[in-house]
Amino acid sequence: MPTNLIDGLFVFMLAGFIGFEVIRKISPLLHTPLMSLTNALDAIAVVGAIVLVGEGKSTFATVLGTIAIVAATSNIVGGFLITERMLSMFKTSRPSKP
Amino acid sequence: MINPIASETLIEIIYFVASALFVLSLKWMISPVTAKRGVRAGEIGMLLAIAGTLLHHGIVDYKWIAIALTLGTIIGIPLGKVHMTAVPQRTALSHAFGSLCVTLVGTVEFYLRAPHVPPFMMSVLSAEVILGGLTFTGSLMAAGKLQEILPQRPITYKGQNIVNLSLLAVSAGLAVYLVNHPGATYLFPLMVGIPLIFGVMMIIPIGGADMPTVISLLNSYAGLSAAAMGFVLNSKLLIIAGALDGSSGFILSVIMSKAMNRSFTNVLFGAFGQVQPAAAAGQEEKTVRSATAEEAAQILSAANKVVIVPGYGMAVAQAQHKVRELYDALTKRGVDVKFAIHPVAGRMPGHMNVLLAEADIPYDRLHDMDEINGDFPQTDVALIIGANDVTNPAARTDASSPIFGMPILDVDKARTVMVIKRGMSPGFAGIDNPLYYFDRTLMLFGDAKAFVGNIVRELSGGSGH
């Protein structure tokens, strides 16, 4: 197994643990915006599609890659937009906290 | 122009910063106060990552990239502006888009590399397209069911689980074969195609009520397929984002299935909607007490502590704004009003909180099940609007009930229970609710929005004393 794949496994394991620890603490109050936010972040897959399309190694790659960019970009834009919209609705009855 | 090695280093540094911003973004989601900062961090990380990628020395043509980014933005804006009740289907749709991207990139990567694909690379590539494929069609199905384009009731047939598991086994078998014989490119379309069918078959037997679990599970799969793509492309940023999304979806699905007292396998293979005979058991004539809006208003205004239990029925009736008026009217009279939110009250994790926040109900009044259950014995009135099974005491006491063991809101411990309901029809599981026949329970028959509106009118009419 090449070393960069092993490195990847280490990163995956650590990021998985961080994810568990961070997300476990998030209150159910924000679970819906959490899911729309992780969805937008997950669309970082767009970077892979951008390279594929930019390199233009084959028409096949360009066509599928272009569709992939469209799909991921709509997730990024839509995901961040709706998360912001939802969060702006959460207001407290207490006077603004110190 | 910067030389390729320098630009590669720069891109790696940008990805490094973006990864840190992604982790911070989730960390700040811990409270509504810091959450907006969290979204900003995520947005900056995303912009940096995309801008950095465009510096990649291998990119020779920007035309299609520009077109695709523009088109994606045009599609994304309306998806960011959907109504709050439509957020679950929007989320399912975005899982579909995310996994579509991952599956397409995986497919291209395979054909660019074949027949020289090392075994580990082929393994992660297979994981990427199998998970991506089943998440794509599965999420489309889930979105269809949530949007009610497709029937909400589970569709089951004999041998369903065997058919589904065989499909999965065949595609796993193909993956194993391709790992050993990556030159067999003709098998690749089959390996991608079968999970696409499996995704559809997987969702068909799942009922509408199980959607919160399913949507979380699909979220997890989408994350894992993106992480697999990170291995294929040797992108640590993608591995991190995928692992974070995967663990987030996993945690949410565990919370959801606990809240319904079901295991994953039970959700995926159980087809809950079939369980109905229990309702037929005790059909003797039982009496309920009903009350008018005027009587309800009198009881509510005399109370010190009121807990409102909203269910999805409230959202269907579009009653949340009337409920806010009720909250205002009672609070003005010095009544302490809280909201009790069951984890599966909406169509996805946390959905009910968003629906109430949209109606301007302050979030510090929204309490989850574990927080509020201790309050019910000191509560004068528990007002249930459009919720049923999550308040059914049979889940605690009746071992023969299909929902036995499911954690519920202990509304029956309140001094008075009021239930706004259209009629006496049972909930999604077809289970009778003994709560309705208690002496302390008053049934308020009518449409949730109209009835709450009437209570508010009574309260404001009699505000002089």
Q: Is A2 on the interface with B (CB under 8 A)?
A: yes
Residue B379 reports pLDDT greater than 50: yes
Reported confidence tier of residue B285, pLDDT bands at 50, 70, 90: low
| pTM for this prediction | 0.90
Cα B171 to chain centroid, rounded: 28
Reported confidence tier of residue B5, pLDDT bands at 50, 70, 90: confident
- Domain co-membership, B388 together with B346: yes
Query: Has residue B69 been placed in a domain?
Result: yes
Q: How far is B463 from chain A, CA to nearest CA, in Å?
A: 22
- Domain co-membership, B297 together with B244: no
CA atoms within 13 A on the CB side of A79: 31
User: At residue A33, what is the residue type?
Assistant: P
pLDDT tens column, B418-442? 999 887 766 655 678 889 888 899 9
Q: Is B249 on the interface with A (CB under 8 A)?
A: yes
User: Domain of B246?
Assistant: 61-273
- Domain co-membership, B267 together with B305: no
Phi then psi dihedrals of residue B341, to 5 deg = -110, 115
The span from the CA of B145 to the CA of B348, in Å, is 13
Tokens standing for residue B178: 């391709």
- Domain co-membership, B99 together with B230: yes
Query: Has residue B42 been placed in a domain?
Result: no
pLDDT tens column, B120-177? 889 999 999 999 999 999 999 999 998 888 887 777 777 778 888 889 899 999 999 9
Q: Read out DSSP for chain A?
A: --HHHHHHHHHHHHHHHHHHHHHHTS-GGGHHHHHHHHHHHHGGGHHHHHHHHHHT--HHHHHHHHHHHHHHHHHHHHHHHHHHHHHHH---SSPPP-
- Nearest residue of B to residue A28 by CA position? B350
B398 close to B435: Cβ distance less than 8 angstroms: no
pLDDT tens column, B96-109? 999 999 999 999 99
- The residue among A72, A15, A31 whose CA lies nearest residue B76 is A72
- Domain co-membership, B332 together with B231: no
The DSSP output letter for B430 is -
> Are residues A71 and B98, on separate chains, in Cβ contact within 8 Å?
yes
Q: Is B51 on the interface with A (CB under 8 A)?
A: no
- Look up B389 and say whether it is catalytic: yes
The DSSP output letter for B114 is T
| B28 neighbourhood in chain A, CB within 8 Å | none
Domain ranges of chain A: 28-89
Interface pTM, i.e. ipTM: 0.94
Cα B438 to chain centroid, rounded: 33
- Domain co-membership, B185 together with B265: yes
Q: Which of B210, B245, B375, B389 is catalytic?
A: B389
Q: How far is A3 from chain B, CA to nearest CA, in Å?
A: 11
Q: How many structural domains comprise chain B?
A: 2
Query: Has residue B307 been placed in a domain?
Result: yes
The span from the CA of B164 to the CA of B452, in Å, is 46
Reported confidence tier of residue B30, pLDDT bands at 50, 70, 90: very high
Query: Has residue B322 been placed in a domain?
Result: yes
- Domain co-membership, B347 together with B427: yes
User: Cis (ω within 30 of 0) for the bond into B115?
Assistant: yes
- Pairing label, strands B381-385, B366-368: unpaired
